[in-house]
């Protein structure tokens, strides 16, 4: 199913990782020029170059050309590429969540990745793909993957070390079983909120910081639901990374297995104004309640992942109800059309049937992606 034809062309550095991942999956070559051409330091940044090297390592049959100013002249990756068995993978970039989670689709054997956070681009420290956000990904993205058939005992995301910006030093282990194809889904009823769980983490600061975060978050959430448990995680020594910091990850679970999340972390050392633990806890709790109001069967940060899995699914109808489309999701839909020539049917739920914010029902027929490198048993 590898697609032939001329390369897709873009200008600028916007959505570069998204375009590279979709290029790998669709088999469409991309040509990206004028990367930061108007800046004093044009071309690729270090974290982007690291991501490109990572793509080259985990793929077979890729050809990447970069000129002197850092423009990607060609990124040609075969759709049915074979993934290497990754027993240890180091990256100095903020790793793309999509690439990690798609190892399950492309791998020829079950994969285990060790991701170490050595350098963090401080301007991107709130990116959910950074290693400091693994708590949220663990309790939202992994259950979503199971809905699409990526399940089994081998699916795990484990925090070994916590790294906060700007020094980093975090480490996580991601393991995933191989699946030949993705299942179509019908996720149209998110259910009602039944409990809230969370983790307040702190590194290289007083352990009492995490307790203060928990107390302030509960002061807001206790008015909403009684079943709340937020545990504290204070790592010491070598497991505490290289920079001080703290944060809170909250997840609301519904009766139908939907997970809605929110997460906040303190500002990097030496950047921005200091954040009080009490303020962080209250603000994160309010963000979670806002996410509950938005609703849907997938939370905001996983909208694009769900739409991608629907696109790659079998040639059958998939339906997922989500909250209002985020700006990133809207751009992602445009890219799915460019790479896969697929369009979603978007239906707005009638106002009298809505609970909370506006909901949309996303419907599509998958392209029939199949992992031919997986041995048939």
Paired sense of beta strands 72-76 and 111-116, if any: unpaired
Residue 86 lies in a domain: no
Residue 234 lies in a domain: yes
Residue 94 lies in a domain: no
What CATH number is attached to the domain comprising 338? 3.30.1370
DSSP string of 101-120, one letter each residue:
HTHHHHBSS-EEEEEEB---
- Tally of structural domains, the chain: 3
Task: Provide, rounded to the nearest whole percent, the portion of the chain with pLDDT above 90.
Answer: 42
Burial of 68 (0-12, 13-18, 19+ CB in 10 A): exposed
3-class DSSP assignment, residue 367: coil
Residue 342 lies in a domain: yes
Residue with tokens 């301007």: 123
Segments forming the whole domain that contains residue 338: 299-365
Residue 276 lies in a domain: yes
328-368: per-residue pLDDT in tens? Answer: 999 999 999 999 999 999 999 776 566 777 899 999 999 99
- Please give the Cα distance from 251 to 136 (Å, whole number): 7
Q: What is the pLDDT of residue 20?
A: 85
Domain final position from 52, 78, 104:
78
Burial of 46 (0-12, 13-18, 19+ CB in 10 A): exposed
Residue 204: both structure tokens together: 């290289």
Peptide bond into 82 cis (omega under 30): no
Residue 252 lies in a domain: yes
Domain final position from 255, 276, 294:
294
- Please give the Cα distance from 83 to 86 (Å, whole number): 8
Residue 303: both structure tokens together: 């909208």
Buried b (16+ CB within 10 A) or exposed e, 357-369: eebbbbbbbbbeb
Nearest CA-CA partner of 126 in 268, 240, 233, 252: 268
122-158: per-residue pLDDT in tens? Answer: 334 344 344 457 888 889 988 998 999 887 777 888 8
- Please give the Cα distance from 199 to 2 (Å, whole number): 43
Q: Is 271 left (phi over 0), alpha (psi -120 to 50) or beta?
A: beta
- Please give the Cα distance from 293 to 40 (Å, whole number): 43
What CATH number is attached to the domain comprising 212? 3.30.360.20
pLDDT band of residue 81 (cuts 50, 70, 90) is: very low
Residue 185 lies in a domain: no
247-271: per-residue pLDDT in tens? Answer: 999 999 999 999 999 999 999 877 8
pTM: 0.85
Beta bridge partner(s), residue 201: 233, 247
Residue 29: both structure tokens together: 């070559």
Looking at the structure, tell me whether residues 201 and 233 fall in a common domain. yes
3-state percent breakdown (helix, strand, coil) of the chain, nearest 5: 30, 25, 45
Q: What is the pLDDT of residue 183?
A: 92
Show the CA angle centred on residue 184, arms to residues 108 and 155, nearest 5°: 45
3-class DSSP assignment, residue 267: coil
Looking at the structure, tell me whether residues 200 and 289 fall in a common domain. yes
Looking at the structure, tell me whether residues 210 and 262 fall in a common domain. yes
Residue 304 lies in a domain: yes
Looking at the structure, tell me whether residues 50 and 22 fall in a common domain. yes
């Amino acid at each position: 199913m590898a697609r032939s034809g001329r390369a897709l062309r873009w200008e600028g550095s916007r959505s570069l990782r998204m375009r590279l991942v979709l290029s790998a999956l669709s088999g469409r070559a991309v040509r990206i020029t004028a990367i930061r051409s108007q800046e004093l330091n044009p071309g690729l940044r270090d974290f982007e170059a690291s991501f490109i090297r990572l793509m080259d390592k985990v793929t077979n049959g890729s050809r990447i050309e970069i000129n002197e100013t850092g423009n990607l002249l060609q990124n040609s990756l075969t759709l049915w590429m074979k993934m290497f068995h990754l027993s240890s993978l180091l990256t100095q970039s903020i790793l793309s969540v999509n690439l990690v989670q798609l190892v399950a689709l492309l791998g020829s054997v079950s994969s285990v990745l060790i991701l170490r956070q050595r350098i963090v681009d401080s301007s991107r420290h709130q990116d959910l793909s950074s290693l400091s956000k693994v708590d949220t990904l663990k309790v939202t993205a992994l259950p979503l993957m199971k809905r699409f058939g990526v399940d089994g005992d081998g699916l795990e995301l484990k925090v070994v070390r916590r790294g906060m910006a700007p020094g980093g030093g975090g480490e996580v282990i991601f393991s995933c079983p191989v699946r030949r194809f993705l299942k179509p889904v019908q996720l149209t009823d998110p259910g009602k909120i039944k409990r809230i769980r969370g983790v307040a983490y702190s590194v290289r600061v007083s352990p009492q910081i995490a307790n203060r975060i928990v107390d302030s978050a509960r002061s807001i959430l206790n008015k909403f639901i009684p079943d709340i448990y937020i545990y504290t995680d204070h790592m010491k020594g070598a497991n505490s990374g290289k920079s001080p910091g703290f944060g809170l990850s909250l997840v609301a679970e519904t009766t139908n297995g939907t997970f809605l999340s929110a997460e906040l972390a303190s500002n990097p050392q030496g950047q921005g104004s200091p954040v009080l633990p009490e303020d962080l806890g209250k603000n994160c709790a309010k963000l979670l309640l806002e996410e509950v109001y938005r609703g849907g069967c997938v939370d905001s940060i996983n909208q694009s992942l769900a739409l991608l899995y629907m696109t790659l699914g079998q040639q059958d109808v998939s339906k997922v109800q989500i909250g209002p489309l985020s700006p990133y999701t809207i751009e992602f839909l445009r890219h799915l059309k460019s790479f896969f020539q697929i369009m979603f049917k978007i239906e707005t739920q009638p106002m009298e049937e809505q609970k909370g914010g506006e909901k949309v029902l996303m419907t599509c027929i998958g392209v029939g992606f199949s992992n031919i490198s997986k041995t048939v048993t």
